[in-house]
Amino acid sequence: MTLVLPPRLTASARTLGDTARRRGLPTVQLPDFDVPEELRGGGAHLHAGPSFADAVAPALGIAPLEAPADWLARLPVAFTRREVRAVPIREAYGLRRPAFVKSPNDKSIPALVYTDESRLPGPDAVDPGTVVLVSDVIVFAAEYRLYVLDGHVVCGSRYAEGGRFRPAPLPAGALAFGADLLAAVGHTLPSAIVVDAGTTDAGRWAVIEANAAWASGCYASDPDRALDVVLRAAGPVGQLTERDRAFVR
C-alpha cells in the first residue's frame, strides 16, 4: 500500500505524507503525469487535486470517490439555508441578479459571486452543458471542514472566520450539525468524504458544500483520522464496496 502525492505539495499533502510515513506507509511523489510501471494497477492511494487525479488514477487502479454533482442542490433548505440549483451553465447565462456560482467537484468554474451572466466564462471557453451550482448569496461568519467516514464525523477543523483563513479545532456545534446532517442524508454520500459547513451571519448552521477528501486540505484536523478518510476516498478499485460504486469520479 502506497500513498501517491502530486509534483507540487500543499501543506496538507506534506502533513498527510508525514503521517503516512510515520505509520510505515510508503509515499511516492510523482514528478509528472507518468505513472511508473511498479505502481500501475497496484495497491496505491492518492492525495492530489482533481486534474492530477484524473490523469493518474486510471493507471494507478484507484477509484476516487466524490459526492454527486447535484448533491448540494438536492439537500433540504433546512440544511442549506438558501436556494441551490444544479443547472447547465447555459441556463446560468440567464442570471439577472447576483448569485454564487461554482463547479460542483472541481475548480473549472471559479467559485465567485457573479453580479450577472456577463462575468461567467462564455461558450467559447466552457461547454454550454457543463453543470454548475447556482445559489443565493449568503455570508458565513465561520467555516468548518468535517471529515466523514462511514456516516460519522471523525475529525475536522475550522478553516475560516470572518472570511479570513483561521484554522482552529472544531466546536461542539459543528460536530452536532454534522451528526444531524449525516443522520438525515448520509446515505447520499460516499463512505469517505469531506463536508464543509458554517454558521451564517444570522448564527444558523448551513452546509457550504461537499468535497472529495483526497483533494481537500486538512488544516487543524487530526492528521491520522484525516488520513484514514483519504485512504478510503481514493483507494484501489479492487477494494471498492458495492455501496461506493455510484460515487466514483
pLDDT at res. 106: 80
Would the CA dihedral through 100, 101, 107, 110 be positive or negative? negative
Q: What pLDDT is recorded for position 108? A: 82
- How far apart are the C-alpha atoms of 17 and 221, rounded to whole Å? 14
CB 168 within 8 A of CB 157: yes
Q: What is the pTM of this model?
A: 0.94
**E strand map for 20-106:** 27-29, 44-46, 62-64, 84-88, 99-102
Q: Residue 12 in contact with residue 217, Cβ under 8 Å?
A: yes
pLDDT in tens, 71-120: 999 999 999 999 999 999 999 898 888 999 999 988 788 889 998 777 88
Give the residue-averaged pLDDT of 166-170. Answer: 98
What confidence tier does 42 reach under pLDDT thresholds 50, 70, 90?
confident
Average pLDDT for residues 169-183, to the nearest whole number? Answer: 98
Q: Quote the pLDDT of residue 124.
A: 85
Q: Are 9 and 33 in contact (CB under 8 A)?
A: no
Mean pLDDT of all residues in 59-82: 97
Q: Mean pLDDT across the stretch 26-53?
A: 94
Residue 123 has pLDDT above 90, yes or no: no
Give yes or no for residue 58 having a pLDDT over 90: yes
Question: 143: helix, coil or strand?
Answer: strand
Rounded distance between C-alpha atoms, residue 146 and residue 143, angstroms: 10
